[in-house]
């Protein structure tokens, strides 16, 4: 595959999206091909039928390959699902020699120490995200590298997930004939696609409402502070409409998309939709007021759960206030009047997030839909990974050619994220399991 290309594979509960993209000469993301298929083997972000998931992945990939007229090999995959949870943790190391400045190795030592945390059976640490550091008791240090000090401590945001779920996703990707290039946490991918740097600095909560789960990522001062996955999404709304109006799922989904509203005050009592009956039965008449009452009840529940998480992060403290408010994205964010409802419940400024922050100007209308936020984020992540590999490869070549002194001028190679190591472990596991 070409070097400056990346493929994002978003394995969701309702749909699977494969997206091929590359950077254009202005550094913006150009989407070459996109394929989507109905996701059949995934429930609330977790694979529960391997065979069906493999077929859905292949279908999405083939569609993307046909659109871009090329073959896909490596993909960056997102993980979410109800098994993801996060916790805050502080840890420290004592440095053997405080005469030397703090370097990458010290930080790696500290991060590796966090990995020794005891988890519940079957759980594994996916992400360790340093918040701020302390050196010899001096607090609020963003970047300790190059400073002197004997004791280095940090607060960490630790994201934990179930190993088996992650391996199952790896298995599906491999069995679909693809190479797992990287794993990314989906809330982080969506955040990359729809948030601006200013918002991340000011403090913002990104709510990605998918089919099976609602993902939350909170940023403040440019650093991710809190993540959560809530096991409800757009599907439970459809389910409620189906039950409440006694209609089939396909009709419920269409009703929700076409006539649904999160705000019941909108509709007059006499606005009625007629739905064809099954196999010669009488058509059903449903008032839009009833429809929006059903939707409203469920959406309120989802938003309130998310708001509890935002409060858990500490939004009500002055120092942790999220000035940029809330950004809604994902397919569920397209529900009419959702923005107003979220503002009403949380009292925070809200906007709908479209993944056009990094996209080339002439991108298709469809691609800039909130539906594809995660996929765009995964492509961006894949491109970033490639750039990092290139920098590391160049550094190695230079090392052979030149003396050590010149290496100091090299761009600092990024610390390998835990996800890179996790990806390798999943790959090894799959290779040995065959």
What distance in Å separates the CA atoms of residue 17 and residue 15, rounded to the nearest whole number?
Answer: 6
Cβ atoms of residues 335 and 262 within 8 Å:
yes
Residue 133: is its pLDDT beyond 80?
yes
Owning domain of residue 254:
234-298
Q: Determine which helix (DSSP H) or strand (DSSP E) holds 301, and give its type and residue range.
A: helix 288-313
What distance in Å separates the CA atoms of residue 5 and residue 32, rounded to the nearest whole number?
Answer: 9
Neighbours of 399 (CB within 10 A): 13
What pLDDT shows up at residue 404? 52
Confidence of residue 409 (pLDDT cuts 50, 70, 90): very low
CATH number of the domain residue 292 falls in: 3.30.420.40
Confidence of residue 408 (pLDDT cuts 50, 70, 90): very low
**2 located within any domain:** no
Neighbours of 81 (CB within 10 A): 25
- pLDDT, greater one: 254 or 4: 254
Q: Which residues pair with 349 in a beta bridge?
A: none
Query: pTM for the full model?
Result: 0.89
Do the strands 204-209 and 214-220 form a parallel or antiparallel pair, or are they unpaired? Answer: antiparallel
Task: Tell me how many domains the chain contains.
Answer: 1
Residue 268: is its pLDDT beyond 80?
no
**252 located within any domain:** yes
Neighbours of 425 (CB within 10 A): 16
Average pLDDT of 263-276? 82
**112 located within any domain:** no
Cβ atoms of residues 394 and 406 within 8 Å:
no
Confidence of residue 422 (pLDDT cuts 50, 70, 90): confident
Mean pLDDT of the chain: 89
Do the strands 5-11 and 15-23 form a parallel or antiparallel pair, or are they unpaired? Answer: antiparallel
All residues at 6 or more sequence positions from 386 whose CB lies less than 8 Å from its CB, including other chains: 3, 4, 6
**273 located within any domain:** yes
What pLDDT shows up at residue 410? 44
Q: Which residues pair with 34 in a beta bridge?
A: 19
Enter the DSSP assignment of 261. B
Segment 89-131, tens digit of pLDDT: 999 999 998 889 999 999 999 999 998 888 888 898 888 889 9
Place of tokens 């607090």: 139
Dmax (CA) for the chain in angstroms is: 86
**74 located within any domain:** no
Segment 142-193, tens digit of pLDDT: 899 999 999 999 999 999 999 899 999 999 999 999 999 988 889 999 999 9
What pLDDT shows up at residue 311? 93
Confidence of residue 38 (pLDDT cuts 50, 70, 90): very high
**251 located within any domain:** yes
**314 located within any domain:** no
**294 located within any domain:** yes
All residues at 6 or more sequence positions from 79 whose CB lies less than 8 Å from its CB, including other chains: 45, 126, 161, 165, 166, 169, 183, 184, 185, 186
Confidence of residue 26 (pLDDT cuts 50, 70, 90): confident
Share of the chain above pLDDT 70, in %: 94
Confidence of residue 407 (pLDDT cuts 50, 70, 90): very low
Residue 305: is its pLDDT beyond 70?
yes
Segment 356-404, tens digit of pLDDT: 888 887 778 888 899 999 999 999 999 998 888 888 888 888 777 765 5
What pLDDT shows up at residue 27? 85
What distance in Å separates the CA atoms of residue 380 and residue 10, rounded to the nearest whole number?
Answer: 13
Q: Across the beta sheet with 223-230, what order do the strands follow? A: 223-230, 214-220, 204-209, 326-329, 350-352
């Amino acid at each position: 595959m070409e070097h400056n290309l990346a493929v994002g594979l978003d394995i969701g509960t309702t749909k699977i999206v494969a997206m091929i993209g590359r950077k254009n000469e202005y550094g913006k993301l150009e989407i070459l091909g996109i394929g989507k298929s109905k996701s059949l083997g995934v429930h609330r972000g977790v694979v529960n039928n391997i065979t069906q998931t493999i077929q859905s992945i292949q279908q999405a990939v083939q569609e993307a390959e046909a659109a871009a007229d090329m073959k896909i090999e490596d993909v960056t995959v997102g993980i979410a699902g109800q098994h993801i949870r996060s916790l805050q943790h502080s840890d420290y190391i004592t440095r053997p020699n405080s005469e030397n400045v703090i370097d990458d190795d010290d930080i790696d030592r500290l991060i590796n120490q966090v990995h020794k945390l005891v988890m519940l059976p079957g759980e594994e640490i996916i992400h360790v995200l340093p918040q701020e550091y302390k050196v010899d008791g001096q607090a609020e240090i963003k970047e300790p590298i190059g400073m002197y000090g004997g004791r280095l401590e940090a607060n960490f945001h630790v994201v934990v997930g179930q190993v088996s779920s992650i391996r199952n996703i790896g298995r599906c990707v491999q069995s679909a004939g693809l190479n797992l290039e990287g794993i990314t946490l989906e809330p982080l991918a969506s955040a990359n696609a729809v948030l601006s740097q200013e918002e991340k600095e000011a403090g913002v909560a990104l709510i990605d409402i998918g089919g099976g789960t609602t993902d939350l990522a909170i940023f403040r001062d440019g650093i991710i502070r809190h993540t959560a996955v809530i096991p409800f999404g757009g599907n439970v709304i459809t389910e409620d409409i189906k039950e409440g109006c006694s209609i089939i799922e396909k009709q419920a989904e269409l009703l929700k998309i076409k006539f649904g509203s999160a705000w019941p005050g909108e509709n007059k009592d006499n606005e009625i939709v007629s739905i064809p009956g099954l196999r010669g039965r009488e058509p059903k008449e449903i008032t839009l007021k009833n429809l929006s009452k059903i939707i409203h009840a469920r959406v309120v529940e989802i938003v309130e759960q998310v708001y509890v998480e935002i409060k858990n992060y500490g939004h009500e403290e002055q120092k942790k206030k999220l000035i940029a408010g809330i950004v809604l994205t994902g397919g569920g964010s397209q529900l009419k009047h959702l923005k107003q409802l979220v503002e009403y419940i949380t009292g925070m400024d809200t906007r709908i997030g479209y993944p056009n922050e990094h996209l080339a100007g002439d991108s298709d209308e469809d691609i800039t839909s909130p539906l594809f936020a995660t996929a765009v984020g995964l492509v961006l992540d894949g491109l970033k990974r490639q750039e990092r590999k290139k920098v590391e490869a160049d550094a190695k070549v230079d090392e052979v050619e030149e003396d050590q002194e010149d290496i100091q001028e090299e761009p600092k190679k990024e610390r390998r994220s835990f996800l890179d190591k996790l990806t390798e472990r999943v790959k090894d596991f799959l290779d040995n399991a065959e």
